[in-house]
């Protein structure tokens, strides 16, 4: 017996499950091509009964539904929201897009606003899932596996299962939620029905480990209780082994912060001066090799140690030259070394490098096989107390350093360059580029080199809002996947 509302609407669509996006898409396509208005459709989920027989009209001959690709991406995300009105909202938007192609850009439109709010909620929920799923061990030896209980607000398990497969490939694990479960047996991912909290184990030996870890990373000087509760909502506390420590740590935070300040170093780290002395022997500029004769990357790297093409060498510890195979097919270009790169004389080894490495890895790009360098080879900074704060290189410094980067490209002869951010794009293309607008695009230079434009990974680090950070990470991952495809074409 169909639900009562089905009789009122002209068409009743029964989706196979809450996440049956393919079913929604198919139904929406048929209905839109048959000019069925949004108000003549009711949408339902017939969970558990398999795909129901459909009374939907067939696709008429010779017509096509043109849908902007980004709408499908937005729709796929919003589809995971738990609001039952999402099916109708998405169809209404699809319907309107036919005559209002700019609809998604109208931020004040109520449908666009609702779509964005749903996406944001889904991304935030996904972020919480990445951060707060805690596995508990059951069984030993061949029987060993890990089970987690998690209570998401939305239907996000299928969407995020791949994340856990990538992170915990070597473990056999199951994530149970009230609506869906995901099970990885080391080779195959299976999505199944929901479960009850009691189906998941309560305690295991790793709890103590989590607590120790949390105690160690807890920084009392940065304690903001409200922000912490926003990041780690109380509803997750009961499933987190480390949560039992939170009240105690908050209570002792003031004292711990005072002690921590007292322990802070009062003089600059001695190795700064030592490294600088080693790399900047007192040489006159005339003695410094200019690198003109370098016929290999290692000769060029050696020559660059004495670079004085702009004044940045004076304050930096040492030159940070590019790294990677001499015959790499792709060169990634960053902006300039940061504090840690300056000390290590290696590009992208600090916080932005960590983000970069993790996303390259997720995209299946092997960092060992690519060459990574910077538009500017010396760290530019403003001293603030004992800290050295990154300062953006100016156009003159970028121009001066093009001398080195041009030679790196001439010697390596890559098929593709990846500009990580605006400074890299300026260096590679000789003009300013609106990176956020042009990201994902390939620009061919006059010499035939393809330059792929994307953001700098430190942009992700600077985003405060967790869901937005996650979304930006996903966008960067999409870019890196495209780079991977371009590497093979």
Interface ranges with ligand URA (CB under 6 A) = 334-338, 341, 347-348, 350, 352-353, 374, 458
Q: Minimum distance between the CB of residue 451 and ligand URA, rounded to whole angstroms?
A: 16
- Under DSSP, the state recorded for 230 is H
Contact criterion met (CB below 8 Å) for 104 and 174: no
- Under DSSP, the state recorded for 19 is T
- Cα–Cα distances (Å) from 467 to 110, 401, 436, in that order, read 21, 37, 18
Q: State the virtual CA torsion across 82, 85, 87, 92 in degrees, nearest 10.
A: -140
Q: How many other CB atoms are there within 10 angstroms of residue 157's CB atom? A: 24
Q: Minimum distance between the CB of residue 461 and ligand URA, rounded to whole angstroms?
A: 10
Q: Minimum distance between the CB of residue 458 and ligand URA, rounded to whole angstroms?
A: 6
Q: Which is nearer to ligand URA, 105 or 432 (CB)?
A: 432
Residue nearest to ligand URA (CB): 334
Q: Which is nearer to ligand URA, 303 or 455 (CB)?
A: 455
Q: Which is nearer to ligand URA, 14 or 359 (CB)?
A: 359
Q: Which is nearer to ligand URA, 112 or 454 (CB)?
A: 454
d(CA 38, CA 90): 10
Q: Minimum distance between the CB of residue 20 and ligand URA, rounded to whole angstroms?
A: 43
Q: Which is nearer to ligand URA, 152 or 337 (CB)?
A: 337
Phi, psi at 127, each rounded to 5°: -60, -45
- Cα–Cα distances (Å) from 115 to 118, 305, 385, in that order, read 5, 53, 46
Q: Which is nearer to ligand URA, 12 or 350 (CB)?
A: 350
Q: Minimum distance between the CB of residue 420 and ligand URA, rounded to whole angstroms?
A: 6
d(CA 167, CA 150): 17
Q: Minimum distance between the CB of residue 427 and ligand URA, rounded to whole angstroms?
A: 11
Q: Minimum distance between the CB of residue 338 and ligand URA, rounded to whole angstroms?
A: 4
Which residue, among 166, 165, 164, 160, has the nearest Cα to 180 in the 3D structure? 160
Q: Which is nearer to ligand URA, 352 or 467 (CB)?
A: 352
Which residue, among 146, 80, 66, 150, has the nearest Cα to 115 in the 3D structure? 80
d(CA 466, CA 349): 23
């Amino acid at each position: 017996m169909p639900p009562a509302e089905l009789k009122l609407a002209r068409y009743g669509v029964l989706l196979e499950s809450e996440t049956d996006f393919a079913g929604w898409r198919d139904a929406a396509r048929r209905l839109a091509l048959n000019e069925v208005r949004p108000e003549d459709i009711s949408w339902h989920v017939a969970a558990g009964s398999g795909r129901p027989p459909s009374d939907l009209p067939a696709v008429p001959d010779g017509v096509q539904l043109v849908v902007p690709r980004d709408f499908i991406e937005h729709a796929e995300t919003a589809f995971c929201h738990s609001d039952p009105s999402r099916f109708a909202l998405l169809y209404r938007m699809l319907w309107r897009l036919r005559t209002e192609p700019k609809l998604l850009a109208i931020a004040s439109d109520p449908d666009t606003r609702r779509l964005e709010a749903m996406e944001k909620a889904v991304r935030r929920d996904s972020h919480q899932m990445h951060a707060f799923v805690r596995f508990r061990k059951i069984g030993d030896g061949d029987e060993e596996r890990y089970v987690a209980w998690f209570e998401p607000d939305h239907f996000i398990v299928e969407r995020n299962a791949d994340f856990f497969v990538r992170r915990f490939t070597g473990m056999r694990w199951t994530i149970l939620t009230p609506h869906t479960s995901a099970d990885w047996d080391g080779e195959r991912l299976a999505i199944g029905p929901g479960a009850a909290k009691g189906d998941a184990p309560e305690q295991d030996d790793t709890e103590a480990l989590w607590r120790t870890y949390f105690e160690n990373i807890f920084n009392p000087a940065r304690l903001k209780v409200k922000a912490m509760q926003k990041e780690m909502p109380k509803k997750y506390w009961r499933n987190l082994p480390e949560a039992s420590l939170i009240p105690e740590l908050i209570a002792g935070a003031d004292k711990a912060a005072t002690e921590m300040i007292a322990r802070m170093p009062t003089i600059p780290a001695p190795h700064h001066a030592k490294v600088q002395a080693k790399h900047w022997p007192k040489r006159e500029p005339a003695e410094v090799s200019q690198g003109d004769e370098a016929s290999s990357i290692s000769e060029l790297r050696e020559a660059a140690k004495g670079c004085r093409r702009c004044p940045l060498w004076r304050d930096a510890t040492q030159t940070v030259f590019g790294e990677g195979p001499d015959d790499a097919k792709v060169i990634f270009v960053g902006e300039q070394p940061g504090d840690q790169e300056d000390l290590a004389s290696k590009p992208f080894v600090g916080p932005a490098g960590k983000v970069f490495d993790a996303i390259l890895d997720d995209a299946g790009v092997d960092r060992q096989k690519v060459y990574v360098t910077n538009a500017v080879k010396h760290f530019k900074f403003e001293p603030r107390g004992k800290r050295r704060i990154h300062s953006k290189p100016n156009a003159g410094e970028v121009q001066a350093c093009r001398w080195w980067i041009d030679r790196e490209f001439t010697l390596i002869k890559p098929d593709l360059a990846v500009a990580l951010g605006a400074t890299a794009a300026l260096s590679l293309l000789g003009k300013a580029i609106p990176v956020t607008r042009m990201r994902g695009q390939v620009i061919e230079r006059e010499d035939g080199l393809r330059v792929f434009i994307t953001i700098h990974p430190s942009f992700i680090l600077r985003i405060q809002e967790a869901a937005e950070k996650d979304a930006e990470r996903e966008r960067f991952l999409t870019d890196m996947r495209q780079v991977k495809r371009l590497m093979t074409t």
